[in-house]
Each structure stands twice: as structure tokens, then as C-alpha cells.
Amino acid sequence: MSDNKPRNFIEEIIEEDLRTGRFQEVHTRFPPEPNGYLHIGHAKAICLNFGIAKKYHGKCNLRFDDTNPEAEDVEYVEAIKRDIRWLGFDWEDREYFASDYFEQLYEFAVRLIKKGKAYVDDSTPEEIAAMRGTPTQPGVESPYRNRSVEENLDLFERMRQGEFEEGSRVLRAKIDMASPNMHLRDPIMYRIKKVAHHRTGTKWCIYPMYDFAHGQSDAIEHITHSLCSLEFRHHRPLYEWFIRELELFPSRQIEFARLNLSYTIMSKRRLKRLVEEGYVAGWDDPRMPTLSGMRRRGYPPTAIREFAERVGIAKRDNVIDLSLLEFCVREELNKTTPRIMAVLRPLKVVITNYPEGQVEQMEIVNNPEDPAMGGRTIPFSRELYIEQTDFMEEAPKKFFRLKPSGMVRLKAAYIIRCDEVVKDEAGQIVELRCTYFPESRSGQDYSGLKVKGTIHWVSASHALPAQARLYDRLFLDPAPDQHEGHDFIEFINPQSLEVLDPIWVEPSVQGAQPGQAYQFLRMGYFCVDPDSTTDKLVFNRTATLKDSWAKISQK
């Protein structure tokens, strides 16, 4: 290859395979099980498989591992396809399902029975588990292991026809009950499941196990490099045994470390529990590590791809700090989002010497990082909203925002001075009465006044009411599912969502569509949520402007 980037170990293997002629091309696949939504861990595998194919001018298939009808659903199939496209990858016309190969896989099983390499076992699941032995003790052969080929063929066909109850029989490979590799101790190839399949309906009542379907599906599609996470390295000898016995195309399996992220869980089963028990509002809740959740939160796909690139490909499992992902998100949004002014916790300001009814249009740039994004005008009037935190009645010496008798610049507008603080009966500050200096307008300032602080604002009569959902990390612990004797639910962050309603945003966002991202000046990155209506926008906080989590978590 011509690029100068260092090769990872997978690329080195592939280039050696191409150089030696082991393979003439590169053909990979991404094989998700449609039993849940994809998460950030899958994003790494997607970027790797599609990225490798692109780098070596090869192909990457999308193949759904739909061998377990109890857990699978067409909803998940469609969500997976949507997420992969959103990430920026295209499988073209190569969309496959393991269920496409059910007849072929059945014939493969019959072939192994005829070779004396597979048998029907009537033992119960508990008996089979006990017969497997332990890592230090060999297993015990099933009493049904030496059935004749004819009897096994008959029983397997009758399994297919639905004569037997679930759990009453399985088909097992006949390998080696004394093997030090537990996966080679006569593994189960087929089990009876009288459950309708989302694609094949009730045509089948026996389904292949993943370990039998996976390698053969790769072989059928002539996958050259089967890239798997590390937990499958002990399964590889079994996959290779099936391929040898069936004399199929020998894909090369290479294992890499899966993505583990701090403050995050990656188990689909546990993510499903969060959804079903109502700890989150669905698979696309912006606090979820799912790609649909990250999309709804406003994470750009470019940032996720950059994150996957920075994490790299390793041979050993490790845990990546969530802050790296958040950094990639901020870095991308800083370059690409327009700035707007929004006040999340409003405090009213009345400029007493500004003419009633007068409105001026103030010019402001959309993104100082990108001059090509141009500028806009925002209305300025006598009554404004500022952030409550931008005023302190008893301010410390180095507080450079607004305080009694203090002055501050309003972004892209005028310098104002606070003359009076108005409070309600409870003693809460409800209004500031201020003076503005007409000669201090931004870009035309000849007032001679010097101020150290600049704050944002919106015109009270022009601003749009909206809702802000401030999302934070879902868990307080960096490894919520790694504490023996504790349920990961115990570590949920009770402050992972704060809803502010109403907030006030400048009128330029009128009509913004779901997914549109902005930087709220001084407040963070936000995007428009699909819950928005024509009457009221809903904004999700994608990220704060800086990583403040370290400070918070150390308190």
C-alpha cells in the first residue's frame, strides 16, 4: 500500500497473505446478531471490517447471524442497517443472512453424519453439561455417541420434521471428549426450537448453533479474512475442524481486542434490561452507548470513525477512557457547528435608557473556526435574558461578569452597567435594571470603556421558548458491571438527565430540523431532538464545551 501510516497487525497479516498468494483479494464481513441495537463497540468492528475492505480494494458483506429466533426481530435488522449507513459505510448488494443458508447448513450436517462425525444425542441439557467435564478433567462420552449412521440420519430428519419436543434431542459433532479445548468436546451443532423465525417463519424447528453456522457462512461467501473479537480465539480450532471435515473454502480468522469503554456497559442483555425496566427511554436514549442513542444525542459519525481510528487495533483487551470519545466529538463539532445564543436559566435584564419599542440587528459570525460559514444578524431590544450564573450580587474580586455597579459587554452588542437588583417576596432575584452605553457598540466602540467580561444574551421579545435536555454519563462508576456481588443498576447516575423548560434561544433557529447541531455560546454543544414540534424545539446537550467530569468526579 502507498500510505505512510503504521500497519496494525491485521494489515500486516493481510499484506503477507496477498504477497504469498494465499488469497488473491480481500473479502471481509460484518456479522451482527439482530437481537438488539448496535453500540459503540460494534462501531469499532464496523470501521475495521469495512475499512480493511476499502483499503485493499476489496469487499465487505453485511451478514446477519439470525440463528436464534427467540431473541431476534426485524426491528433490529432495520436498526442495524440504518446505523451502518449513518456511520458512512455501504455493503452495496451484499446483504446476507445466516438463514439464507439454513438448507445448505442442514446438508453440511448430514454430510458430517454420513462421515461418522456427528450424532444425535438424547441426553438432557444438564446431562450434556455434566458430561463435558472441566478444564482440568476430560469429558465423558455420551451413551448415544456410537449410534449408527443410519439411525442418526433418521433421527436428524425427524428432528427437522418436528417429531420431538424442545430439549429432547440435539445434534453434536463427534470430535474429542478429552480435548483440552472445551469447545472440541463434542459441541452441539443443532437444537430443537419450535419458534417462528423472523424470515423463515415456521419452516424450521431446528436451528444451527452459532459455532456451526459462523464458519460455514464465511466459507459459503468466500470470506478471506474473518475478523473476530478475542473471545472467539478458543473457538477457532472448532471452526477449522468443521471446514476441514466439510472441505470448504478456508477463511482465515484473526482475533482482535474488542472495545471496552469506561463508564459504559456493552452487554446487549444488560442494555436491553435498561430499556425494558425503564431506566432509559428506549434503545435510542441519548445516554445509551448505542449508535442510535449517540446519533440522537448529536454525536457526528465522523467523530465516531475518528475515535475508532485513534483507539486502533490491539491484541489485548483494555479499557478506553470515555473522555477520548467525548474529545473526538468536541473536536469535530467545534469545526462544523454554527454558534448561536441560548439562555438556559434565564434572568431578565431591562435596559432602562434604551428606547422602548426600538430593535437593532446585531451582526455576529456563525463560526470563527470557519469563515466560509458566514454570519447572521440577531435582534437587540430593551428587555433581554441573560444566564443567572452571569450575575452575582456579592461577587469575588475576579468575577468579571455582571455585578451591582459592575459593567460587562453583551456579545456582539453593547456594554451595560447594573444599576438595580429587583427581588420577589421570597428574596429571589428576578430582574436586573441596567444602563447601556450607545457609543460602545461592538465593532464601532468609541466609548473608551474597558471591561474584562463578555456574556451572551437573547432579546426577550424575539427569543423562542425551547426545552433543553442536559445529558450526562449514565453511570457513576467507570466499570459498573465489574463489581462482584453488586448489580450494575446500583451505579446509575441519578443526575444523568436534567430537563430545563423553558430555555430561550435566538430566533435564527426557527424551523431547525432534528439532528441539526449547534454550539450554544459558552454553554455546550446541542442538537435538535426528534421530539421537537413546530411550536417548540427540543435540544439535547451533546457535550459540554470542556471535560468537566474529572473535576466533578473528584469532589
Query: In 382-503, which ranges are continuous DSSP H helix?
Result: none
Choice among 59, 147, 258, 305 that is catalytic: 258
Residue 521 near residue 508, CB atoms below 8 Å: no
Burial zone of 80 (CB within 10 Å; 0-12 exposed, 13-18 middle, 19+ buried) = buried
Residue 214 near residue 96, CB atoms below 8 Å: no
Omega within 30 of 0 (cis) for the link into 502? yes
CA 535 to chain centre: 30
CA separation for the pair 10, 23 (Å, rounded) = 14
Apex 72 CA angle, 69 and 75, nearest 5: 140
Q: Is 258 a catalytic residue?
A: yes
Q: Is 157 a catalytic residue?
A: no
Q: Are strands 260-261 and 319-320 parallel, antiparallel or unpaired?
A: parallel
Phi, psi of 211 (to 5 degrees): -65, -25
Please list, residue by residue across 217-234, b when 16 or more beta carbons sit within 10 angstroms of its beta carbon and e when fewer do: bbbbbebbbbbbeeebee
Q: What type of residue is 105?
A: L
Phi, psi of 383 (to 5 degrees): -115, 130
Place of cell 432509559: 280
**Which residues are CB-contacts of 258 (< 8 A; sequence separation ≥ 6)?**
41, 44, 45, 229, 230, 231, 266, 317
DSSP string, 396-429: -TT--SB-BT-EEEETTS-EEEEEEEEE-TTS-E
End-to-end, the C-alpha distance of the chain in Å comes to 50
Q: Is 240 a catalytic residue?
A: no
Alpha-carbon distance values, 555 to 477, 551, 552 (Å): 14, 7, 6
> Is residue 53 helix, strand or coil?
helix
Choice among 268, 382, 403, 473 that is catalytic: 268
Question: With left for phi above 0 and alpha for psi between -120 and 50, is residue 88 left, alpha or beta?
Answer: left
Residue 190 near residue 184, CB atoms below 8 Å: no
Residue 125 near residue 114, CB atoms below 8 Å: no
Q: Are strands 524-528 and 517-520 parallel, antiparallel or unpaired?
A: antiparallel
Choice among 11, 15, 33, 157 that is catalytic: 33
Question: With left for phi above 0 and alpha for psi between -120 and 50, is residue 6 left, alpha or beta?
Answer: beta
Strands (E), 98-146: 118-121
Q: Which residues are catalytic?
A: 33, 258, 268
